[in-house]
């Protein structure tokens, strides 16, 4: 491992954690391990991070210089607090979570132990496969961190191939509402249209709608950028 590279431990083998772990590994950081509680999670971890050991949470945190918390939003506060109660967080350790809802306040128990808190949320829908690595290179990541360590969060995003943008702590709930609305609306509209086409006998409605939906979304996004510039 090159000088300046970090030992990365990933808590969570859902769709996000293994992908971001692979992106960091591609930037020559060393993945020291990942937690996985299901067969699907272990399979995903092995596919994205071949050879990375599956460890228990306390052991993984103790081994890691950067801990990536890629767990469901509602599990994040209790996980951070539980590790604090067990005295496992380490001074100088980078602790990164991927929740859209939270800034760094949720990491306060780790901060009190001397850890460095970073919030990084990739604004994209994950599949949990290698497809996401190429999509990540076209994505933006919301970053929230205390001012002195904000450049660390931004640098990690760049190393993963994405583009960072800063969201203030108090604005994280509004940011989360925006990204969830975009995902749920897009999914609902495509599902409705595909169902209608299937109902009239159109085969492969997803393929039929692909160019239409992509061009319509591209046009809408271009218009949105134009409005923001006014």
Q: Looking at residues 82-88, what average pLDDT do you find?
A: 97
Residue 227's pLDDT band, with cuts at 50, 70 and 90, is low
Mean pLDDT of 27-46: 96
Do residue 200 and residue 96 come from a single domain?
no
**Distance linking the first and last C-alpha atoms of the chain:** 47
The answer to whether the beta carbons of residues 72 and 16 sit under 8 Å apart is no
In a domain, 110, yes or no: yes
Statement: the pTM of the whole predicted model exceeds 0.85: yes
Q: Is residue 1 part of a domain?
A: no
Are residues 144 and 205 part of one domain?
Answer: no
Q: Is the pLDDT of residue 4 over 80?
A: no
> What angle do helix axes 150-159 and 17-26 make, rounded to 10 degrees?
80
In-domain check, residue 163: yes
- 57 located within any domain: yes
Q: Is residue 20 within 8 Å of residue 124, measured between CB atoms?
A: no
Mean pLDDT of the chain: 93
Rounded to 10°, the helix 205-228/172-199 angle is: 150
Range of the domain at 132: 7-167
User: What's the pLDDT score for residue 218?
Assistant: 79
Report residue 170: phi and psi, to 5°. -70, -15
What is the percent of the chain where pLDDT is above 90? 79
Tell me whether residue 119 is in a domain.
yes
Q: What integer pLDDT is reported at residue 107 of this predicted model?
A: 98
Same domain, 133 and 180: no
Phi-psi region of 20 (alpha: psi -120 to 50; beta: other; left: phi over 0): alpha
Least confident of 9-18, 156-165, 220-229: 220-229
CA atoms within 13 A of residue 180's CA, in its CB half-sphere: 10
pLDDT at residue 215, as a whole number? 80
Tell me if 124 is assigned to some domain: yes
Given a contact cutoff of 8 angstroms between Cβ atoms, the answer to whether 65 and 59 are in contact is: no
The answer on 111 and 50 residing in a single domain is: yes
210 pLDDT tier (thresholds 50, 70, 90): confident
153 and 71 in a single domain? The answer is yes
Confidence of residue 103 (pLDDT cuts 50, 70, 90): very high
**Same-domain pairing of 150 and 50:** yes
127 and 143 fall within a common domain:
yes
What mean pLDDT do residues 60-73 have?
Answer: 97
The highest-confidence range among 22-26, 208-212, 215-219, by mean pLDDT, is 22-26
Q: 80 and 15: one domain?
A: yes
Say if residue 162 is in the same domain as residue 182: no
Asked if residue 216 and residue 127 are part of one domain, the reply reads no
Banded pLDDT at 2 (limits 50, 70, 90): very low
More confident position, 156 or 224: 156
Task: Write down the H helix ranges in the chain.
Answer: 17-26, 39-48, 57-63, 76-85, 108-112, 131-136, 150-159, 172-199, 205-228
Domains of the chain: total: 2
Whether 204 and 95 share a structural domain: no
């Amino acid at each position: 491992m090159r000088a300046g590279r970090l030992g990365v431990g990933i808590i969570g083998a859902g769709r996000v954690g293994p992908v971001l772990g692979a992106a960091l590994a591609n930037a020559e950081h060393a993945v020291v391990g990942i937690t996985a509680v299901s067969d699907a999670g272990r399979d995903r971890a092995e596919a994205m991070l071949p050879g990375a050991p599956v460890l228990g949470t306390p052991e993984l945190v103790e081994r890691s210089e950067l801990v990536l918390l890629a767990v469901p939003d509602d599990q994040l506060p209790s996980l951070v607090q539980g590790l604090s109660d067990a005295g496992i967080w380490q001074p100088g350790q980078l602790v990164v979570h991927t929740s859209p809802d939270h800034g760094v306040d949720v990491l306060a128990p780790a901060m009190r132990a001397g850890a460095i808190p970073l919030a990084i949320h990739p604004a994209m829908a994950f599949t949990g496969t290698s497809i996401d690595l190429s999509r990540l290179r076209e994505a933006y990541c919301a970053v929230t961190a205390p001012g002195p360590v904000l450049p660390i969060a931004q640098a990690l995003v760049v190393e993963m191939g994405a583009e960072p943008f800063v969201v203030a702590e108090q604005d994280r709930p509004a940011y989360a509402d925006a990204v969830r609305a975009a995902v749920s609306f897009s999914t609902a509209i495509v599902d409705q249209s595909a169902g209608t086409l299937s109902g009239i006998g159109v085969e492969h409605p997803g393929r039929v709608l692909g160019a239409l939906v992509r061009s319509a979304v591209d046009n809408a996004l271009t218009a949105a950028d134009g409005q923001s510039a006014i």
